[in-house]
Structure 1
Amino acid sequence: MKTAIVIPAFNEQVSICEVLAPLLQMTEFDIIVVDDASTDHTLELVSANPQIIVLPLAVNIGAWKAMQTGIRYCHLNNYQRVITFDADGQHLANCIPALCCYQESSGHDVVIGSCPERGSIARHIAWKLFRALSGIKVEDLTSGLRVYGRAAIEILSTREASLLEYQDVGVLLMLKTFGLSFSEVPVDMNRRVDGISRIFYSWGAVAYYMTHTTLLCISKVRMSNE
């Protein structure tokens, strides 16, 4: 099965080489790094390795749209499966085989690497609220470690998916609307090597995220009931 690991990266020079090293040993996967107009040496470090497919962006468009750029590349190049992976050192390469095996055996369209014990109080409050609002029974709603099958790749490559702001509840709601199935596999995660969460770094950011995602959940639920 033609599979790619897609990694969006913005100013990840501290962690990117350490993140890529074990992934490059997994020769059955193509490695795609989408550089989101980094202003440090991230692009230079990634481009130095000919094994990596590098998609450099001219302007910063944010984590989800950078990820979607990689997913669209995979859609156009007939990949059957995409593994999304963070560049900050949280995700572990040795979790990938178990996620892929489960995706193949279960037949689910999306498999999420789940680590619900991580995170702050704010993160857990958000998860609990969004599970109640959306009806999505996923413990780790904000995990970026996911395996997407071909049907999910096609949906997430659309213009409508570009309107999403985060790769979490909105993505799952969209896939649920199209009748796709998803499940979770428990995984371990590290603390990020560098930087901060783009959602949970301050109460202001949390408030924006909560408001944005709550409205999205309500609108989707209303549409599904009409």
Structure 2
Amino acid sequence: MSERWLVALPVFNEVKHVDGVLDEVLKYCKEVLVVDDGSSDGTAEVLARRKDVRVLTHPQNRGYGGGLISAFNYARVHHFDKLVTIDCDGQHEPKRIPLFFEQCTPDIDIVSGSRYLRQFSGDSLPPETRRRINETITAEVNQRLGLELTDAFCGFKCYRVSALKKLAITETGYSMPLEFWVQAAYARLRIKEMPVPLIYLDEKRSFGGNLDDGDVRLQYYHLTMNRAIAAAEALELARDQMLSGECLM
């Protein structure tokens, strides 16, 4: 029996991009899920007119991580084998979707896009603050978790859905990738990076509220990572103690 593949797009107020991006995505995968995260700009109306994609709607905005969590849960519940996540703002090229699925071989759990693994002709120049924060956090992720990432924040990924069952992501905001990397590392998931072009179409795109301040955003990322590591260590300790107790019985 052939594998079932799904592409999921978390969407919030993307009325300018959503139709064009979906038309392109559907060229490379016929099973497409859009998680509309409480859009209020007409995105919901655009999606309602389409009959060629699955739509999951959050009545209220839950955040970037909340959209991905819903996509993960949907892929598990509906028994897909592989899931690709791609942003809907034009930063990711849908033509690369088949490469992500292909690279997610039986010995790989996560194929993660990297905008810094190698350069492509026509790459954008990343906003200085975003690049600095990405470098800082990626280095910390590697040092604390023993990983070898070059881009901790790229949303273009392929997941083996069976591997997602080992995770319990709860962070709904923009720092969700850090909780994801912590849990992936502690679950010993097998990770591979794949280069993707660096494309910024809206360099002034807002993170919302005080997160537009780079220092505040960096602190928020550190807090999420600290909390996720503490939770993973506590869970690991509890498992070790349970196993020790079983051995003594």
- What SS does the aligned partner of 1:120 have? helix
Distance 1:153 1:129, change over 3 A: closer
State TM-score, norm by structure 1: 0.86
Gaps of 5+ in 2: 118-125, 241-249
Distance 1:141 1:197 in 2: 19
Distance 1:161 1:3, change over 3 A: same
- What SS does the aligned partner of 2:54 have? strand
Distance 2:201 2:183 in 1: 28
Contact 1:113 1:146 in 2 (8 A): yes
Cα deviation for residue 55 of structure 1 reads 0.6
- What SS does the aligned partner of 1:168 have? helix
Distance 1:205 1:17, change over 3 A: farther
- What SS does the aligned partner of 2:189 have? coil
Q: Which residue of 2 aligns with 1:173?
A: 182
Contact 2:171 2:179 in 1 (8 A): no
State TM-score, norm by structure 2: 0.79
Contact 1:134 1:221 in 2 (8 A): no
Contact 1:108 1:181 in 2 (8 A): yes
Contact 2:137 2:152 in 1 (8 A): no
Cα deviation for residue 192 of structure 1 reads 3.4
Distance 1:192 1:153, change over 3 A: farther
Q: Which residue of 2 aligns with 1:108?
A: 108
Letter in 2 for 1:53: R
- RMSD of aligned alpha carbons: 2.5
Contact 1:112 1:183 in 2 (8 A): yes
Letter in 2 for 1:21: D
Pick the aligned partner of 1:17 from 8, 16, 19. 19
Contact 1:11 1:40 in 2 (8 A): yes
Q: Which residue of 1 aligns with 2:247?
A: none
Gaps of 5+ in 1: none
Pairing 1:22-101 to 2, within 5 Å after superposition: 22-26=24-28, 28-101=29-102
Cα deviation for residue 213 of structure 1 reads 3.2
Greater Cα radius of gyration, structure 1 or 2: 2
Contact 2:8 2:71 in 1 (8 A): yes
Letter in 2 for 1:48: R
Q: Which residue of 2 aligns with 1:182?
A: 191
Q: Which residue of 1 aligns with 2:131?
A: 120
Distance 1:197 1:2 in 2: 35
Distance 1:19 1:208 in 2: 33
Q: Which residue of 2 aligns with 1:152?
A: 163
Letter in 1 for 2:178: V
Contact 1:64 1:167 in 2 (8 A): yes
Cα deviation for residue 10 of structure 1 reads 0.8
- What SS does the aligned partner of 1:82 have? strand
Cα deviation for residue 171 of structure 1 reads 0.6
Distance 1:121 1:115, change over 3 A: same
Contact 1:15 1:193 in 2 (8 A): no
Cα deviation for residue 134 of structure 1 reads 2.3
Distance 1:194 1:16, change over 3 A: farther
Paired residues in the alignment total 221
Letter in 2 for 1:141: A
Pick the aligned partner of 1:213 from 224, 227, 232. 224
Taking every aligned residue pair, what percent have the same amino acid on both sides?
21
